[in-house]
Amino acid sequence: MLASQAIDRIRAFPPRMTEFTKQFWWGLASGDFQTTRCDGCERLTFPPKPFCPHCWSEGVRWVPLSGRGKLYSQTVVHAAPMVFQEETPYRVGIVDLDEGLRIATRVLSETEPGLDTAVEIVVLQYRDGPLFAARPL
């Protein structure tokens, strides 16, 4: 179960929810971080997909992720698209999850965490739905 943080506003750019991805977003709202694993080659994919991009199998299943990893890279965005202007400056980064996946996400930190810093994924509970971000442990 992931930690969560309430955000008292709506998401600047809500994700597109499809019939397939609603399991991810509904799970995230409940504190579960998950993705898909191929039944054929056993490889994980993030973001979750209804097919395996490695072997093209349509046999995938949902599996939980720990939400733990290490910060691989990061940057601070000062000049953002108009929809994110009110949130600047904000930090984004690449996180290597313990399960071997590399994901891009917002990084919640007032100071600049060093590379290889241990991080955890947290649920950002906006008024209109969840998003996720990483924060240093």
Domain ranges across the chain: 4-10+17-136
Question: Are 15 and 28 in contact, with CB atoms under 8 Å apart?
Answer: no
Q: How many CB atoms lie within 10 A of CB 81?
A: 10
pLDDT tens for residues 84-128?
999 999 999 999 999 999 999 999 998 999 999 999 999 999 999
- Tokens coding 23: 């399991």
First and final C-alpha spacing in the chain: 15
- For the question of whether the overall pTM of this predicted structure is more than 0.85, the answer is yes
